[in-house]
Amino acid sequence: MNVRAFFLAGACAALATPCAAQERAITFDTFASTDADHTQVVRSGVNLDWSHRAEDRYQGIRLEKAWFKPLGGATTGFERAYLRYADRGGAASWSAQLGTDGHTVLGSANAALGSRWRKEAFIERDILETPRGVGDGIYYTFAGAALDVPLGERDSATLVAGAQAFTGRNVRLHLRGNYVHLVKPDWGLTAQLRTRWFHSTVPGESDYFSPRWYAEVLPVLQVRRRVGGWRLLGAAGFGAQRNAGAPWRTARYLNL
């Protein structure tokens, strides 16, 4: 997958129609993104839940249409269908969304243990957003674990380790570390330092960005607030990145 020097994403949970005391619900959502290489992605779907007791306790299906436009070229659409499930018990929670695009298994699953030191395991599988990925059917499967580390009343860190296997032979090993300082609780304003590193076992195997290794350090300011039934988020960052065979260069990030 290409490194996104500039990333713009929008996500909207637009409508919920519950009935029978939240036991059933219909929800719609749309996600759109673009990057500096003019790769555009749009996903729009409807969730039909026959059981919806809470936002993290539901059972149902999801029907989705996804459009991919790699490097500003032709747009390719895929129809997808998923079974979706989420529940919780005590300090534990788990969810899964498993389905297909008619060619292979897609989806994600995670399990988390909530505590002061929150722990989570996850796995996801999707298509690569590149010309060969979309045209030839190149997919990835990413599995890993995360640990939240409390550092004080307003400070915390998150550590993530994972492995990403691609169609072919390449396996990418990931390490990520984020430090978060709560600057203004009333505003939902945080200052963050995001770092990541990966190593590819078969670099340059296909048309996705895959050097032998890649590293990034990115300071970020983020605002997250709830207004009525909406959750609003804005984040911007400016830092540095480097990969094997190349010097340090700027890294930019924007998320709305």
80 in Cβ contact with 72 (< 8 Å): no
Predicted confidence (pLDDT) per residue in 154-171, tens digit: 999 999 999 999 999 999
Q: 19 pLDDT exceeds 90? A: no
Tokens of 131: 């010309």
Bridge partners of 99?
Answer: 82, 106
Backbone angles phi, psi at 170, to 5 degrees: -70, 135
Q: 56 pLDDT exceeds 80? A: yes
Q: 1 pLDDT exceeds 70? A: no
* DSSP structure string for 154-210: SEEEEEEEEEEEESSS-EEEEEEEEEEEEEETTTTEEEEEEEEEEEESSTTSSSS--
Predicted confidence (pLDDT) per residue in 70-97, tens digit: 999 999 999 999 999 999 999 999 999 9
Bridge partners of 187?
Answer: none
Q: What is the mean pLDDT of residues 53-58?
A: 92
What pLDDT sits at residue 256? 86
What pLDDT sits at residue 137? 94
Neighbours of 32 (CB within 10 A): 15
Looking at every residue in the chain, the average pLDDT score rounds to: 90
Helix, strand, coil percentages (3-state) for the chain, rounded to 5, are: 5, 70, 25
Which of 158, 88, 153, 87 shows the shortest CA–CA distance to 117? 158
Q: Which residues contact 232 (CB under 8 A, 6 or more apart)?
A: 223, 224, 225, 226
Q: 9 pLDDT exceeds 50? A: no
pLDDT confidence bin for 22, thresholds 50/70/90: low
Token look-up 């498993």 returns 98
Tokens of 27: 């929800």
pTM (two decimals): 0.83
With a pLDDT cut of 90, the percent of the chain lying above it is 83
Q: 228 pLDDT exceeds 50? A: yes
Predicted confidence (pLDDT) per residue in 96-115, tens digit: 999 999 999 999 999 999 88
With a pLDDT cut of 70, the percent of the chain lying above it is 91
Q: 227 pLDDT exceeds 70? A: yes
Predicted confidence (pLDDT) per residue in 124-139, tens digit: 999 999 999 999 999 9
pLDDT confidence bin for 2, thresholds 50/70/90: very low
Q: 52 pLDDT exceeds 50? A: yes
Measured at the alpha carbon of residue 205, what is the angle toward residues 249 and 251, in degrees to the nearest 5?
15
DSSP alpha helix (H) spans, 63-188? 131-136
What pLDDT sits at residue 167? 95
Q: 16 pLDDT exceeds 60? A: no
pLDDT confidence bin for 116, thresholds 50/70/90: confident
Q: What is the DSSP letter of 202?
A: S
What pLDDT sits at residue 13? 35
